[in-house]
Structure 1
Amino acid sequence: MINYEQTPSDFYDQQIESKNFLGAWFHKSRNMQTKALVDEFYAESKIIVDLGCGNSLWNESKSPAIGIDVNSDSLNYTMKSGRLNKIIVAPADKTSLPSDSADIVIITEVLEHLDNLSAQLNEIKRILKPGAKVICSVPYDTNFSFWRPLFAIQCFYKGSIQKQEYYKQRCGHINNFSPKSIQDLFISHGFKITKFINHYFFTIFIIASK
């Protein structure tokens, strides 16, 4: 089992600076798509909450955002970079934020790691203001995606050949999603899907409202 509290503080920055061209492109393009969606819905004084935020790489423009993560070193590193202006060390499904307080919730590349999806969806719904948006992304993990075979190759090479424990454990991925299953998950928890994006058959983005 991966201990996310011990992940290097700049782990996600390392991914976009990787010498692996495809890997670096994948992370950069996904962050650019996230930023475009945030920009679409953000206005001054709106409250952004980034759940399981890592290094909040989407936020190069340094919009005010609250970051929630279990890794305190990562949070402090990201706050020093200016991508977060408030941090909370907590699991993403136990934020301690007030109910109906967030205008935008971001949860990117998190749901595939969680063993209690209902708890997470319920927490998102609790903290969102009525009508507010959640921006979610997950790997496009089906037999018809580009992501699945390339991820398998990466885990085999870095896990089995280079003996990196993180990749031996498939980077902690325990859930897989298709376009239908991720939308069904949100709908079953009372959300309304307002936008769906197939990002190059690597990543699924959905925007849903409370």
Structure 2
Amino acid sequence: MSPALRDFYENPAVPVASGPDRSRRQARMLAHALNTEGNTVATILDIGCGDGTAAATALPFLRGHRLIGVDWSQDALRRAARRLPVVRGELTDGGLPFADGSADACVFSEVVEHLVDPDAALDEIRRVLRPGGHLLLSTPNLAAWYNRGLLLAGVQPVFSEVSLRGIHGRPGREVVGHLRLYTARALRGFLTASGFEVVRLAGAPFHGVPRVLRPLDRAVCRVPSLASILLVHARRREGAWGGV
């Protein structure tokens, strides 16, 4: 990661949470997956935990399991440590301080869109997951219902950015550092190619949608390809190890 990007993500003013609704939906998906496997205590890594807000929202749904926050930002880890156990790690080869196959599940929320090298990140997550282990990933949807209309009008889509210094050509006021965006089809293909089997793809609303449009945004979640946020439950394929 470049020095400019590191400085950007260490800035306390940069948003590190994306709303409780997505966190609750994701936690319910993971809890259901774990409950179908019995009552064993699962080790869950919240990779890119930020300030721990999302983990705090998810914890009531994951009682009895071990949740560990992982981030490379020292500032984020200091804040997250008030909510859950944390460790520092990076999404590079061997950058997560966990043994091969030691995690039962990884939560990867609103992170992949910030990465220069998402392929290396998925390789490292696959390494630490046990065979059949769960990946719960969420990311903004490039093809969200309103983005389709904005593109037709020649407006830069919501979630996309052309600069780390300011907003240009799209709605919104916050610079959040998005480098990559996915459609539902692209995300499914990317995960499959990275050694995962997609179990379920669902949608979640976006907290930044204007209040008057929020009922519509929630209703559209029934069609994940149009939803604001994409939620994916995937499992590490048996035999998928190292390079795929």
Normalised to the residue count of structure 2, the TM-score between the two structures is 0.67
| Runs (5+) with no aligned partner, structure 1 | 16-25
The two structures, once aligned, show a CA RMSD in angstroms of: 3.0
Aligned to 2:188: 183
Does 2:80 align with 1:78?
yes
* Matched-pair contact (CA < 8 Å) for 1:140–1:179: yes
Distance in 1 of aligned mates of 2:114 and 2:121: 11
Distance in 2 of aligned mates of 1:9 and 1:74: 11
Letter in structure 2 aligned against 1:58: A
Does 2:229 align with 1:203?
yes
Letter in structure 2 aligned against 1:57: T
Deviations 1:102-151 (A, max 9, x none): 00101011111111111011111100011110000110112x53368573
* Matched-pair contact (CA < 8 Å) for 1:48–1:65: yes
Overall identity of the aligned pairs, in %: 20
Distance in 2 of aligned mates of 1:204 and 1:31: 12
Deviations 1:137-170 (A, max 9, x none): 110112x5336857369999x9359xxxx94xx4
Aligned to 2:96: 95
Give the CA deviation at 1:8.
Answer: 1.5
Give the CA deviation at 1:57.
Answer: 2.5
Distance in 2 of aligned mates of 1:207 and 1:189: 14
Aligned to 1:66: 68
1:32-43 matches, cutoff 5 A: 32-42=24-34, 43=39
Letter in structure 2 aligned against 1:49: L
Normalised to the residue count of structure 1, the TM-score between the two structures is 0.76
Distance in 2 of aligned mates of 1:108 and 1:30: 9
* Matched-pair contact (CA < 8 Å) for 2:196–2:235: yes
| Runs (5+) with no aligned partner, structure 2 | 151-156, 205-220, 222-226, 237-244
Give the aligned length: 187
